[in-house]
Structure formats: C-alpha cells, structure tokens
Chain A
Amino acid sequence: MPDTLLFAMEATLNGLTAGVMYALVALGFVLIFKASGIFNFAQGVMALFAALTLVGFQSGQIPFSHLINAIFGTRLHHFGWNMPTLLAIPATVAVMILLAILVERFILKHLINQEPIILFMATIGLAYFLEGVGDIMWGAEVKALDVGLPKGMSDTVDELTFNWFGYGFFIDRLEIWAAGIAAILVASLTIFSQYTKQGRALRAVADDHQAALSVGISLRFIWVLTWSIAGIVALVAGIMWGSKSGVQFSLSLIALKALPVLILGGFTSIPGAIVGGLIIGVGEKLFDFFMQPIVGGATENWFAYMLALVFLLFRPQGLFGEKIIERV
C-alpha cells in the first residue's frame, strides 16, 4: 500500500478522534439551544471553569486566595490536602449546578422575551465574566489535570495496524477513551430525555414554551435543569481537553471551534453535533495533510469555518436541523 494512503488513513483516524472532542463541546450548545433557544456562547468558558474547579478541588487550592492575599496581605495558597478524584468530580458537578441556578436567577429570568441576539450577547458577557471569575478564583497559570485516564500512544492500535499494513498508526489512548465517554454521554442523554419525567418535560419545552407552560411545566426549573446538564457536559469536555493539553485559557476557545460543528450538524440535533464534529475533525486533518505542501501549515485555524461557510450557502439549516420557514 502506498505511504501517502497510509498517512491519509492515519490522519483520518486522528481526525475522527479529534472530531469527538469537538462534538463533546458542541453537545452542550445543542442542549441549551434546544431547551431555551439560547445560543450559549459561554459553553467553552464553562468547560474551562469546570476544569479549573476540578483541578482546584483536587489540589486543595483555596478559592480566591490571590484576591484575599491582595486585600488582606496574607499568604494563603492551599488547604494542605488533596481531594481524591472521585470526590472532586461530584463537588465540581455541584458547583456547576450552583452556577446554573445563579445564571437562571440573575440573568435568564430578566431576559425573558428578549430577542435571540440580545440573549446571545448576554452569554458573551457571561463568558467574559466567568473567565474572570475562574482566573481570580483559581489563578490563571497553566495547570495539569490528571483524573487517571490513560495517556500516550495506544500500543494496541499501533500493533494491530502494524500487522495489517506494516505501518503503526499513532492514536492517543486518551482520545479513544474520549470517544467511549462521548458515546456513553449521548446514550445516557437520550435515555434521560426519552424515559424520564424531567426529560420529557425538557422535550416539551423545546417543542413549545407556551404549550409546556400551560400543562404545568415550570420553565424556570427546566432552564436550571438544562444549564446543569450543559454544565456537566462542559465538565466532561473540560476533563478531556484539560487532560489532553492542560487547563489553560485556550480551552475556552474550543467554543469557537464548536460553532462550525453546530452549523454542519444543525443547532437542534444531538446526532447532528456528533456527525458534524466528526466531519470537521476529519476534514481539517485531511485538508491540512494534503494542502500543507502547497499553502503551508496551520490551516486548522480557519478550515472549519470556511467549510461551514461553503456548506451554509447550500443548506442553511445544517444537515439535521429543522427547516427554516420564514413568514412575514
């Protein structure tokens, strides 16, 4: 088999696993968009915040220590103990749920009936606010996140492909795990929304706010619920991205990468988010692979957006989105 084909296949596989990571972020967007029609720009920062909180709990950092030190002239840094991961994750989930309650209480409640664009800008404001809070609370330096997930090259894939093609593919074990976890996440979300009372209420709200209200579903509760779920999804994405490249500011920029994924998949479709993520992941890896000799590297920076742009021209509602009907 020619080398180029093998390399292309490896790039495709890497693209698939990278796509799963994008899809993880996009999932959070879709959940909130479906339930409340809000395009939540803060999803990426939520992932960053969740990851920061998790690391902070794990290493026993004192929240706001930097600020307290600056005001009172003290020298506090750590509590002096480490929290086990199994305890730190539920604690972080609790923080994300608290965040959801606060967001609903202080922002969403006051913005009912505003135009979608105002809500979108509010989430940009929220993104900035959360970013600042996260930095002040836990410090802005790059942190390593380790929750015990395996890392490094997968030997099994390497051996298997070496036996088949005579060339071992390089796949990060972490990304294989990410794919598995994403699958579990989607499955449990589907089960939740199909078979539980709350899940059905969620879908009812997504279909029609007013009708849902009239049969006695509390919109405010549903919003808290959605934002909590989105927070948990953000935590999962934060753990995955954080273990991969460290917990740092650039984590919040993956939200921008999730936008073209959403465009491809459609804003309202969970399978769409997954498929869109995979297409973007594979697309940008392959494009970079074939175009690198011609235009130079780093095309990943813009390829996804250009793909989305071209795609939009032909299908404005995305692959799985609802058809856009406009009336005067």
Chain B
Amino acid sequence: MLYREAGDFKTSYVADSQTFPIKFDRYGYYFILGFAFLVMPLIINDYWANSIVVPFLIYTIAALGLNILIGYCGQLSLGTGGFMAVGAYASYKLMTAFPDFNIVFVIITAGLITSMVGVLFGLPSLRIKGFYLAVATLAAQFFLIWLFTRTGWFYNYSPTGMISAPTRTVLGYPVTGPRASAVSMYLICLSFLVACAWLARNLTRGTMGRKWMAIRDMDIAAEIIGVNPLMAKLTAFAVSSFFVGIAGALLFTVYLGAAEAGEAFGIDKSFLVLFMVIIGGLGSIFGAFAGAFFLIVGPVLLKLLLVDSLGWPTDLAAHLEIMIVGALILVFLILEPHGIAALWRTIKQKLRLWPFPY
C-alpha cells in the first residue's frame, strides 16, 4: 500500500533522475541514515562495535570497491587482500612520518596511493581477460604481501614485523589506538562508508559507470561505439582500489590497531570480499551492504548458536562455518545468481503492485 509509484509524479528531470525515485525508499533511506548517525551512537557498546558493526562498515567499503571492479566493469580480481594491505601500510607510513597530519586525510591519501598501485596492476587487464586476469591479480596479492613482510622500511624496522597504529584524534576524540571509544570508531567508519557509498552510487550511474558496464557486457562492442577501454578499465581499477585501500586503512588503524601483512591481509581476505560481492549481488550498491552484512553477522550468529548455547568446541564450529559459507555460495549461485540484491528487487516488484496485482 505504501510502496508504490502511482501518484508519485515527477515534473522535472532532476526529480526523475534522483537516486531513490520512490517516496517510500527515500524516506526509508533518510530514516536509516538518521538512525545510524543519531540513535546508534547512543546504544552501541564495545562488544557490538568490535564483533559486528565496525567490521561490517569496513568490509562494506571493500565490497563496494570490489563490486565496482567485478560487478560493474567485469574485471575479476583476487588481489583485494593485497590492496587492503597497501592501504594499511600506506596509512601506517603516513601516520608515523607526519604525526600532525589529520587521520581523515591520512586515510584518504592511503586510498589514493592504493589506487595508484591498483592502476599499475590493472594495466595487464588491457591484454588479458577473465580467469587469466584473476591469476594476474593473484600476482599482486602474493607479491605485495611478500614485499610488506620482507622490506623493513614498510614496518619501520620494528623487531616483530608488526605495524601498530598510534593514537590519532578527530575533533579532539581519539579514533585510533587503545584509547579510542566504540562510538568514535563507529562514527568515523560510518562517515567513510556513507561518503564512499554516495560516491560509488553517483559514479556508477553517470558516464563513467555506463562506460564500465559497456566494457563488462562486451568489450569489443563497447570499443566500437567509442568507449576507450584503456580509460574505462583503468578508472575502474583506480576507483575500486581507492575504496579497497580506504577499507584496508580503516581496518588497520581503527579496527585492528596492529597488523601483520601475511596474517591480516592474506588471500582469505580476498576471497571473503569476493564472496560478499557474489552473495550480495554483482553490480549493485545495495548488494555490497547485503553481502557484507550476511558474511559478517552470519558467522557471529553461528558461533553464538553453536559454541555459546550448544557448547560445541570452537574448531568444529569454525569448520561448520566454512562449510555453510561454501554451501550458501552454491545455493545462491544456483537459485539466484544475482545475489540478495536481485531477491530484493523481486520483492520490490511484487510490493509495487500489492495488494492489487493487476
């Protein structure tokens, strides 16, 4: 009854091209945004922030980035973990080299550095495609991790080979380091996520996004109608790596606090983000949120159920979790290859006509 376009007429192009053309969606979006910024900081505590909310926010940024590359531009990448490591190490070097530099700019600069590295490893995508490109990005993953664990300069020659984030403040509140409170961690991640999602949404529906999609659907045909594949692919790599780099920087500075490249940014992280994109839905901004939510909250719930309430051993629960994640991916690919986002789209279609289907 509420969810419908009838009576929701547009009289200008601006109104017609807005992000949420349906009133119900628009108010829902304002409501969620208001809830996230105003109510959540009041009720959030350390447990919720550390186990669910902050990782969800950070991984959503990474999933947004990878979704741009895979879902919108069709370039398969398995190097996400490596690019996140670039973001993390870049932010570490910037934080230690310029202690007065504001953490927000540090993270953005880390994102920019990652996007340059991403473009470098994206160059082969002009020659190679599909699985071959996936292998090429694996080269990025393993080479970058090796570089960060072997080169002393990157971790300031610390004896453990770990990098740890010093305390930095935003508006007087510490957001990194041991003194950071759950609320400030939450708010900084949320702000970055909202900015990134806004950027991603508007990039993907503009000229650039259309070029990416043309390349994804058929690159030769796109080239013939005048899309420059060099620019389209490299911008996709740049924007995607920018997001992934920000996610890596946030993961290290705000969430982990201390990290070691091989452990925190291994190949399993690449797959985790890839799964988020697949389960959430390729080529959908909402999908990145849904996928990250599913894969961050799912394991926590499973652990709560099996370990805390049934008393099963943790290793068994961990194996069961891997199995369930694998099975879910299979089920999603078979039943709904376009992920949760497509499911949501179907529900919306039905809701539009409900309760009078004709």
Binding site for B on A (CB under 8 A): 39, 66-67, 70, 106-107, 110-111, 114, 116-118, 120-122, 124-133, 135-136, 140, 253, 256, 259-260, 262-263, 267, 295-296, 298-299, 301-302, 305-306, 308-309, 312-313, 316, 326-328
Asked if residues B146 and A301 are in contact (CB atoms below 8 Å), the reply is: yes
Name the interface residues of B298-342: CB closer than 8 Å to any CB of A: 310, 312-313, 315-316, 319-330, 333-334, 337
State which of A116, A120, A131 has its C-beta within 8 Å of the C-beta of B326: A131
Query: In the assembly, what is the distance between CA of A299 and CA of B76, in Å?
Result: 25
| CA gap between A306 and B135 in the complex, in Å | 9
Listed by A's residue number, 23 A-B pairs whose Cβ atoms lie within 8 Å are A70-B313, A106-B330, A114-B333, A118-B333, A120-B131, A121-B278, A121-B333, A122-B334, A125-B327, A125-B330, A128-B271, A128-B322, A132-B320, A132-B321, A132-B322, A132-B323, A133-B323, A136-B316, A136-B323, A140-B315, A301-B142, A312-B132, A316-B132
Q: Which residues of B contact A110 (CB under 8 A)?
A: 334
A305 and B330 form a contact (CB under 8 A): no
3 tightest Cβ-Cβ pairs between the two chains A and B: A132-B323, A129-B326, A128-B326
B127 & A316 in contact (Cβ 8 Å cutoff) = yes
CA distance A259 to B138 in the complex (A): 9
Give, as a whole number of angstroms, the nearest-CB distance from A281 to chain B: 17
A116/B312 contact (C-beta < 8 A), A131-B322, A302-B143, A306-B139 known:
no
Interface contact A132-B324, CB-CB below 8 Å: yes
In the complex, are the beta carbons of B143 and A306 less than 8 A apart?
A: yes
Please name all residues of chain B whose beta carbon is closer than 8 Å to the beta carbon of A326 when the two chains form the complex. 220
Bound complex: CA A120 to CA B76 (Å): 11
Contact of A308 (CB < 8 Å), options: B136, B316, B327, B328: B136
* CB-based nearest B residue for A253: B267
Q: A121-B329, A127-B326, A312-B124 are in contact. Are A70 and B138 (CB under 8 A)?
A: no
Contact with A along B259-296 (1 / 0, CB 8 A): 00000000100010011001000000000000000000
With known contacts A120-B131, A312-B127, A256–B334 Cβ distance under 8 A: no
The residue on B at minimum CB distance from A299 is B146
Q: Which B residues are in CB contact (< 8 Å) with A122? A: 329-330, 333-334
| Chain A residues within 8 Å of B131, by CB | 39, 116, 120, 267
Taking a contact as CB atoms under 8 Å apart, the answer to whether B322 and A302 are in contact is no
Could you say which residues of chain B place their CB within 8 Å of the CB of A298? 146, 150
In the bound complex, residues from chain B placing their C-beta under 8 Å from that of A299 are 146
CA A106 to CA B331, docked complex, whole Å? 10
Docked-complex contact B76 and A117, CB < 8 angstroms: yes
Q: A70-B310, A132-B319 are in contact. List 17 more A-B contacts (CB 8 A).
A: A107-B330, A121-B329, A122-B333, A125-B327, A125-B328, A125-B330, A126-B326, A132-B326, A135-B322, A136-B320, A256-B138, A259-B138, A262-B135, A301-B142, A302-B146, A326-B220, A328-B218
Given the complex, which residues of A lie within 8 Å of B21, measured CB to CB? none
Q: By the criterion CB–CB under 8 Å, are B150 and A70 in contact? A: no
> In the complex the two chains form, what is the Cα distance from A125 to B150 in whole Å?
32
Report the minimum CB–CB distance from A302 to chain B (whole Å).
Answer: 4
Report Cα–Cα, A121/B333, bound state, in Å: 8
- Within 8 Å by CB of A260, from B135, B218, B329, lies B135
**Known A120-B131, A316-B127, A328-B220; contact A128-B323, beta-carbon cutoff 8 A:** yes
- Most-contacted residue by chain A among B124, B143, B221, B319 (CB, 10 A): B319
Taking a contact as CB atoms under 8 Å apart, the answer to whether A259 and B135 are in contact is yes
**B interface with A by C-beta (< 8 Å):** 76, 124, 127-128, 130-132, 134-136, 138-139, 142-143, 145-146, 150, 218, 220-221, 224, 267, 271, 274-275, 278, 310, 312-313, 315-316, 319-330, 333-334, 337
Q: Nearest chain-A residue to B319 (Cβ)?
A: A135
The answer to whether B128 and A312 touch across the interface, beta carbons within 8 angstroms, is: yes
Q: Contact between A70 and B334 (Cβ–Cβ < 8 Å)?
A: no
Task: Report Cα–Cα, A312/B133, bound state, in Å.
Answer: 9
Q: Residue on A with the closest CB to B338?
A: A118
Report the separation of the CA atoms of residues A61 and B316 in the bound assembly, to the nearest whole angstrom.
Answer: 17
A296-B150 in contact (CB<8A): yes
* Nearest Cβ on chain B to A34's Cβ, whole angstroms: 14
Contact flag A130-B326 (CB < 8 Å), given A116-B130, A140-B315, A328-B220: yes
Whether B326 and A125, one on each chain, are in contact in the complex, defined by CB atoms closer than 8 angstroms, is yes
Residues of A within 8 A of B136 (CB): 305, 308-309, 312
CB atoms of B320 and A309 under 8 A apart = no
* Min distance, Cβ A328 to any Cβ of chain B, angstroms: 5
Point out the residues of chain A lying under 8 angstroms from B271, CB to CB: 124, 128
* Contact A313:B127 (CB < 8 A) given known A130-B326, A136-B316: yes
> Are A256 and B267 closer than 8 Å at their CB atoms?
yes
A129 touches B138 (CB 8 A): no
Nearest A residue (CB) for B328: A125
Q: Chain A residue with minimal CB distance to B218?
A: A328
Chain A residues contacting B319 (CB-CB under 8 Å) are 132, 135-136, 140
Bound form: Cα–Cα A129–B332 in Å: 13
How many Å lie between the Cα of A106 and that of B218 in the bound state? Answer: 31
Instruction: Name the A residues within 8 Å of B224 (CB-CB).
Output: 328
| A-side contacts of B128, CB under 8 Å | 312-313, 316
CB distance from A305 to the nearest CB of B (A): 3
